[in-house]
Amino acid sequence: MTTTALKPVPVEPASEQDGLIHGLSVEELQILCTKCIDAKATAYCPYSLFRVGASLLLHPSPSSTTPTLITGANVENAAYPVGTCAERVAMGTAVIQGHRIGSFKAIGVSTDMDDFCSPCGMCRQFLREFCELETPIFMFNKGGEYKVKTLGELLPMSFGPDVLPSRETLKKRGEEEGRVG
């Protein structure tokens, strides 16, 4: 299932350096855009009828000749809150394939709207577990135009695994304080 590739066009100045857009080549940005638009077609959203597609671009491995992407789409449920967003479906898929922090070069999100849809708060936190704060999130509208923000911009002063003391520290502290759990 493929869409005619829409050309990604920024609607705001995007950071460009050495011919790269937020660190992505024109080819990588094109495939990030195409993949999240294609993924949108796989959404299960009979309740909201609001299709969302997400794509995760992996950092290239030394042996890879073409960009590698993992995709997801929103999956809803008759019990509405049980439904899952496209971003978490994509990231969950990546995680079970063994990817972790350091794997992800960029994230793409697309909808059928003229406007730009940014990941919800729950997805921002979910992504925070596995992405650097510098990771760019490209938000594409239905025409392939985009706005881009880093995860850190979308989730300032965030809480992440780095904040938690190690299990060893917690255990030791618990023992010192005479706590059981």
CA 142 to CA 131: how far, in whole Å?
25
Residues from 49 through 88 that contact Zn ion (CB under 5 A): 85
Catalytic: which of 12, 16, 28, 87? 87
Binding mask 11-30 toward ligand DUR (x if CB under 6 A, else -) reads --------------------
Instruction: Find residue 99's DSSP bridge partners.
Output: none
Structural contact between residues 118 and 111, judged by C-beta atoms closer than 8 angstroms: no
DSSP 65: S
Least separation, in Å, of the C-beta of 31 and Zn ion? Answer: 23
Residue closest to Zn ion (Cβ): 85
| Number of residues this chain uses to bind Zn ion (CB under 5 A) | 3
Q: Is 27 an active-site residue?
A: no
User: Taking a C-beta distance cutoff of 8 angstroms, is the pair 51, 73 a contact?
Assistant: yes
Query: Does 85 interact with ligand DUR (rule: CB under 6 A)?
Result: yes
Q: Which is nearer to ligand DUR, 13 or 41 (CB)?
A: 41
Is residue 45 a known part of a binding site? no
Q: Going residue by residue from 94 to 123, which x/- string records binding to ligand DUR, judged by CB under 6 A?
A: ---------------x-------x-xx--x
- Decide: is 37 part of the binding site for ligand DUR (CB under 6 A): no
79 annotated as a binding-site residue? yes
**Please, which residue, 60 or 112, has the CB nearer to ligand DUR?**
112
User: Residue 123, annotated ligand binder?
Assistant: yes
Rounded to the nearest 5 percent, the helix, strand and coil shares of the chain are 30, 20, 50
Q: Which residues of 9-44 are buried (b: 16+ CB within 10 A; e: fewer)?
A: ebeeebeeeeeebbbbeeebbbbbbbbbbbbbebbe
The answer to the question of whether 41 is labelled as a binding residue is no
**Bridge partner residues of 140 (DSSP):** 110, 146
Structural element, H or E, at residue 168: helix 167-176
Residues that bind ligand DUR (CB under 6 A): 45, 48, 50, 52, 74, 76, 83, 85-87, 109, 117, 119-120, 123
Q: Which residues are catalytic?
A: 87
Annotated binding site for substrate: 74-80
